[in-house]
Amino acid sequence: MRNRSSHPENLLVFDRAGIRETDVKAIGLHGMTGLVLMENAARESAIIAMDMIGEDVQNPLVAIVCGRGNNGGDGYAIARHLHNRGIGVKLLSSGPPRPGSDAQANARIAETMGLEKIANHECLTSVNLIVDALLGTGLDREVTGEDRLLIEAMNTSKAPILSIDLPSGLDADEGKPLDIAVRATETVTFVGLKIGLLQPSGEAHAGRIHIVDIGIPRELARSLALKQSNDGAASDTEL
């Protein structure tokens, strides 16, 4: 497990309700905006994606699988950051974001930049990295339809997978697949650990976990966390 915060000895653990409330209060109480939080998450995720690609790969290509919610919005923003670093990106989407949402704002930016959007799942077999930004912590039902097809395609690919916040299809509280879930190589999760990632099935699906700060006030995050974990003080911790 890697932690990019400055307090590795006090890793926070959240359930689905707690992490949702953290976002709500950061916006409503502190006056932050969803777009700022999404931008911070995307910037940190892009750094980890670059590390996963490595410096020796010539003309790297990344497929970014975006959902319709905020997790997909993170994906569109990550695509922009990777493109700006000279990385080739292809966007796959399960559907359009909700009108007026932060996810739609980032999808529009990606579109105006001319980032390639495709519908062919077969491209996942010929990329250097897959970014899984399909489904996030809010998922509480069985995965069906296009979401399921995309998860199957990601799991079939031999490319490494970076999941955003949580492997798509995984229950944030129980750490079990909601019938199916992405098997990630690495997972970048925001603010603190989701309690499901501490369960054996959650650990198996998440791979190596990175915990990153996205600007949520520390006192707010601590007040809404289930508990603090000292697990992150191991030698693998990254500051």
Distance separating alpha carbons of residues 206 and 184, to the nearest angstrom: 5
Selection from 140, 163, 165 nearest residue 150 by Cα: 163
Return the SS3 of 195.
helix
* Six-digit token string for 14: 């959240």
* Six-digit token string for 172: 């944030």
Residue with tokens 């704002």: 105
The amino acid sitting at 234 is A
Range of the domain at 7: 2-233
Question: Residue 24 is part of a domain; what is its CATH number?
Answer: 3.40.50.10260
- The reply to whether the predicted model has a pTM over 0.85 is yes
In a domain, 197, yes or no: yes
In a domain, 238, yes or no: no
In a domain, 114, yes or no: yes
Number of domains in the chain: 1
* Six-digit token string for 40: 């911070």
* Six-digit token string for 133: 């930004």
Selection from 141, 142, 154 nearest residue 205 by Cα: 154
Distance separating alpha carbons of residues 116 and 93, to the nearest angstrom: 11
In a domain, 219, yes or no: yes
**pLDDT, position 239:** 24
In a domain, 161, yes or no: yes
**pLDDT, position 121:** 87
**pLDDT, position 229:** 55
Q: What is the number of alpha carbons within 13 Å of residue 49 lying toward its C-beta?
A: 37
**pLDDT, position 55:** 85
Query: Residue 196 CB: number of other CB atoms within 10 A?
Result: 24
Helix (H), strand (E) at residue 84: helix 70-84
Per-residue pLDDT of the chain (239 residues; tens, 9 = 90+): 554 443 344 689 999 999 999 999 999 999 999 999 999 999 999 999 999 998 888 899 999 999 999 999 999 999 999 999 999 999 999 999 999 999 999 999 999 999 999 988 888 988 999 999 999 998 889 999 999 999 999 999 999 999 999 999 999 999 999 999 999 999 999 999 999 999 999 999 999 999 999 999 999 999 999 966 554 432 222 32
Selection from 23, 31, 136, 131 nearest residue 77 by Cα: 131
**pLDDT, position 205:** 97
Phi, psi of 63 (to 5 degrees): -100, 130
Taking the C-alpha atoms of 114, 169, 19 and 11 in order, what is their torsion angle to the nearest 10 degrees? Answer: -100
In a domain, 140, yes or no: yes
DSSP 97: P
In a domain, 27, yes or no: yes
Phi, psi of 212 (to 5 degrees): -125, 150
In a domain, 239, yes or no: no
90-126 exposure pattern, b = at least 16 Cβ within 10 A, e = fewer:
bbbbbeebeeebbbbbbbeebeeeebebeeebebbee
